[in-house]
Amino acid sequence: MITSQSQITVRYAETDMMGVVYHGNYLPWFEVGRTQLLRECGVVYRELEQEGYRLPVIEVGCRYLRPALYDDTITILTKLPERPLIRIRLEYEVRRGEELLATGFTVHGFINHQGEPVRPPARFTERMRELFAGQPDQA
């Protein structure tokens, strides 16, 4: 399993009149975590796009446990639990300190610029193989 942590301070624009974060704002936070995890793995999303690949979300889920509030410092823990083969599944925890606020997941598939499904680039596949060496293939 590969993990990454990102921190965000909740902006006023992300909240409602009660200072509670609007539920839809968790998805961009997942993107922050996903982008950071991939970058730490040596896979820069901008470079994938320049090479002709995109990684759209094909499935998403979120479970809200406690509200995030204006000016909270939150941590997004992003996990890549298994080596991706064709699809990538990432899992997320949103925390305020030790308090778990939300959990979620996203599933992504590779497409080309014409929107057609494609296999991941060889360098991505090789990097994931290196990172998950000694772990069984599951995805």
pLDDT of residue 47: 93
Domains and CATH numbers, the chain: 2-126 (3.10.129.10)
pLDDT in tens, the chain (139 residues): 999 999 999 999 999 999 999 999 999 999 999 999 999 999 999 999 999 999 999 999 999 999 999 999 999 999 999 999 889 999 999 999 999 999 999 999 999 999 999 999 999 999 999 999 976 555 4
pLDDT of residue 87: 94
pLDDT of residue 136: 59
Give the up-direction half-sphere exposure of residue 110: CA atoms within 13 A in the CB hemisphere: 18
Question: Which one is catalytic: 16, 71, 72, 137?
Answer: 16
pLDDT of residue 138: 52
In the residue annotation, 137 being an active-site residue is answered as no
Among positive and negative, which fits the CA dihedral 35, 40, 45, 46? positive
pTM of the complete model: 0.91
As to burial, measured by CB atoms within 10 angstroms (0-12 exposed, 13-18 middle, 19+ buried), residue 137 is exposed
